[in-house]
Amino acid sequence: MGSPHPLWSRGFRPFFLGAGLFAIATMIVWLAAYRFGLAPDLAGITLFQWHAHEMVYGYAMAVIAGFLLTAAQNWTGVDTLHGPGLAGLLLLWLAARVMMLTGTAWLLPAAAADLAFAVVLFIAIARPVLKVRQRRQTPVLLVLALLAAGNAAFYLGALAGAPEWVARGVYGGFYLVLGMVLFMGRRVIPFFAERGVGYEVELRNSRWNDVASFVFYALFLVAEVLAPGSLAGSLVAALLFVLNGLRLAGWHTPGIWRRPLLWSLYLAYAAIALGFLARALVATGTLSPLLAVHTFALGGVGLITLSMMTRVALGHTGRNVHQPPAVAALFLGLLIAAGLSRTLGVASDPGHYALWITLSGALWIAAFGLFAASVGPLLWRPRPDGA
């Protein structure tokens, strides 16, 4: 029997390609609904909850699946899903996405496919981790389990007419994804910078900051899920702004600005820090909580995942991570512009709110379109070295 098509050889290939294409499709549907009233048929959830759910459990979960299926194999030396098994996992994710793009008419089968995807993904990551007893990866398994629980809460709330559970499922999933991004960012951003700037440098990290950031972020997540917009959440967010600002100061070195896949990671982490500042200022009544959410989501999660997908795709297909496609700086810049439009544009010119939202969505589509056109072929083709 011959080898499977390169697309099915490693988890990052189909899921990064799927994430990139889905990012375009779901934003087109969102803009059509928001600007032109062409909303999918929704019952039990609002249009905004549908949008948030698909960004978290659709787009972000595809990126997480691709990243973890690849990383778990590197961590453990044990093969993760490939070939028909990987194709089957992708089909579960894709089936849920297609049904949710049409609204809630197919909510029950969409829930079945989405939750089956979550369970199979958990097993696919847990199997190699438990086989070699890598206990330090246990937090990853815990987050995957909590994400599955959050998605189940969303679907149960939608099916039972319980809006509070829909909201908790969406916000719980979102802040779990943000927490995973912070955790992985702490691991990889200084590591990549030290090895990518082309000169000897040792960036500063602090054990006490790591511990404090973990504890306060856990408190922040609980506060935002149980009492969104609360004063307690604002106070913890202020502390997290300071802690992450100190991290960024320790991670800065001038050489990052010459590498798109370094400055994009740094700016994405900076956006998350600014998201905490925006969330803290919600307590003053001067900023909307949605401004903080979209600073986290677009500037933070969106930019860091786009940059990481590009880097992983290059590295794991045998290319030089310091020589990304020529358009990489452009599509990363377009996503930054999308984030600025959705946050600073809206905040400074609320009279043209809908215009800024539309511009942000269009820039998002353009960024992921360029990603799919330039990085997508690398995910489909064999490695140039034949490995």
- Here the CATH number for the domain that contains residue 194 is 1.20.210.10
What domain range is 31 assigned to?
A: 6-380
Evaluate whether residue 57 is within a structural domain: yes
pLDDT of 203: 97
- Are 276 and 236 in contact, with CB atoms under 8 Å apart? no
Residue 41 dihedral angles phi and psi, to the nearest 5°? -70, 115
386 inside domain:
no
pLDDT at 387: 62
Residue with tokens 């100190």: 246
Q: Is residue 385 part of a domain?
A: no
Cα four-point dihedral sign 375, 378, 379, 385: negative
Based on the structure, what is the number of domains in the chain? 1
Amino acid 130: pLDDT: 93
pLDDT for the residue 136: 87
- Quote the pLDDT of residue 386: 67
CB atoms within 10 A of CB 162: 15
In a domain, 1, yes or no: no
The CA-CA-CA angle for residues 174, 177, 182, to 5°, reads 125
Question: What is residue 1's predicted lDDT score, i.e. its pLDDT?
Answer: 44
Could you tell me if residue 263 is inside a domain?
Answer: yes
pTM: 0.96
Specify if 178 maps to a domain: yes
What's the chain look like in SS3? CCCCCHHHCCCHHHHHHHHHHHHHHHHHHHHHHHHHCCCCECCCCCHHHHHHHHHHHHHHHHHHHHHHHHHHHHHHCCCCCCCHHHHHHHHHHHHHHHHHHCECCCHHHHHHHHHHHHHHHHHHHHHHHHHCCCHHHHHHHHHHHHHHHHHHHHHHHHHHCCHHHHHHHHHHHHHHHHHHHHHHHHHHHHHHHHHHCCCCCCCCCCHHHHHHHHHHHHHHHHHHHHCCCCHHHHHHHHHHHHHHHHHHHHHCCHHHHHCHHHHHHHHHHHHHHHHHHHHHHHHHCCCCHHHHHHHHHHHHHHHHHHHHHHHHHHHHCCCCCCCCCCCHHHHHHHHHHHHHHHHHHHHHCHHHHHHHHHHHHHHHHHHHHHHHHHCHHHHHCCCCCCC
Alpha-carbon span 379 to 9, nearest angstrom: 10
Assess contact for 159 and 44: CB atoms under 8 A. Answer: yes
User: Burial level of 235, CB count in 10 A (0-12/13-18/19+)?
Assistant: middle
The answer to whether the CB of 28 falls within 8 A of the CB of 321 is no
pLDDT along the chain (387 residues), means of 10: 79 98 98 91 94 98 98 93 97 98 95 99 96 90 98 98 96 98 96 96 96 98 95 98 98 98 98 98 94 97 98 96 96 99 97 97 99 97 81
Report yes or no on 25 lying in a domain.
Answer: yes
